[in-house]
């Protein structure tokens, strides 16, 4: 059952992650791996990693923003350079294909920068035959998570799980058919939705904070 609400319900991403860990407890002691979508997803995934003793890594995917409304997305770009656009989105927005390509190229450069920085030259983890748990701090349009799922599927995991503290109902309906399991603590109905509205404390993480969380999480998993 989805819990529908329109109020802030998480103190911060750390609390959201700890609550998600309770719903993912059956993966403790398995071969599952947490793949966090930077930046906010890393802060949510960190307490899950510590609580369930699961390895933590990143899956660098980024929303393709609408130029005049950057909080809204029209697609997403993966680390492999694949661009996913909503069907018919350019026509509805009145954008030219050339304009969309310019936006996608800027996003692709940032995705590649993050991939180099966060991975530090290390290869992506082996996913074939494993359970991949994709974590973000929320799903607004769902495009970023769709791109993440499709990117991971190419690597042959046994199961793909999507785990988020909050999501819009529209994003859930978009993502659920492509995931083997979807865990969302709060699903919001209504035409207006912003992930930040469901957190009392919301801020943009820096690269330094992400690197610190990743370093600690990987060290804990090895130890």
| Residue 124: per-residue pLDDT | 85
- DSSP secondary structure of 142-198: SHHHHHHHHHHHTT--SEEEEEEEEEEHHHHHHHGGGSSEEEEEEEE-SS---GGGG
- Structural domains in the chain, CATH included, are 13-59+125-222 (3.40.50.2020)
The stretches of the chain forming alpha helices (DSSP H) are 13-23, 40-52, 89-93, 97-119, 143-153, 169-175, 207-222
In degrees to the nearest 10, what's the CA dihedral of 109, 78, 162, 72?
Answer: 60
Contact indicator for 125, 154 with CB cutoff of 8 Å: no
Q: CA 8 → CA 44, 75, 95, 198, distances in Å?
A: 16, 26, 34, 4
Question: From first to last of its 223 residues, what are the pLDDT tens digits of the chain?
Answer: 344 444 568 999 999 999 999 999 999 989 999 999 998 999 999 999 999 999 999 999 988 777 777 667 777 888 877 787 776 777 788 887 778 888 888 888 888 888 889 988 788 899 999 999 999 999 988 988 999 999 999 999 999 999 999 999 999 999 999 999 999 999 988 777 888 899 999 888 999 999 999 886 444 343 3
Contact indicator for 165, 44 with CB cutoff of 8 Å: yes
Tokens of 211: 């690197």
From CA 49, how far away is CA 134, in angstroms rounded? 12
| Residue 53: per-residue pLDDT | 95
With vertex at residue 152, the alpha carbon angle to CA 150 and CA 153, rounded to the nearest 5 degrees, is: 65
Q: How is the beta sheet containing 131-135 ordered, strand by strand? A: 56-58, 33-36, 131-135, 159-168, 181-188
């Amino acid at each position: 059952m989805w819990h529908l609400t329109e109020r802030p319900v998480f103190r911060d991403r750390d609390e959201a992650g700890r609550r998600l860990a309770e719903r993912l407890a059956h993966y403790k002691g398995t071969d599952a791996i947490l793949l966090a979508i930077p930046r906010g997803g890393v802060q949510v995934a960190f307490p899950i990693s510590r609580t369930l003793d699961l390895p933590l890594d990143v899956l660098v995917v980024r929303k393709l923003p609408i130029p005049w409304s950057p909080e809204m997305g029209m697609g997403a770009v993966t680390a492999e350079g694949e661009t996913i656009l909503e069907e018919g989105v350019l026509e509805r927005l009145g954008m030219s294909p050339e304009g969309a390509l310019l936006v996608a190229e800027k996003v692709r450069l940032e995705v590649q920068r993050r991939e180099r920085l966060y991975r530090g030259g290390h290869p992506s983890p082996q996913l074939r035959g494993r359970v991949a748990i994709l974590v973000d701090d929320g799903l607004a349009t769902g495009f970023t998570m769709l791109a993440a799922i499709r990117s991971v599927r190419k690597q042959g995991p046994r199961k793909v799980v999507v785990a988020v503290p909050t999501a819009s109902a529209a994003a859930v309906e978009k993502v659920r058919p492509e995931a083997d399991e979807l865990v969302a603590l709060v699903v919001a109905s209504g035409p207006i939705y912003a992930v930040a509205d469901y957190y009392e404390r919301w801020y943009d993480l820096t690269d330094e904070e992400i690197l610190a969380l990743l370093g600690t999480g990987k060290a804990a998993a090895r130890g």
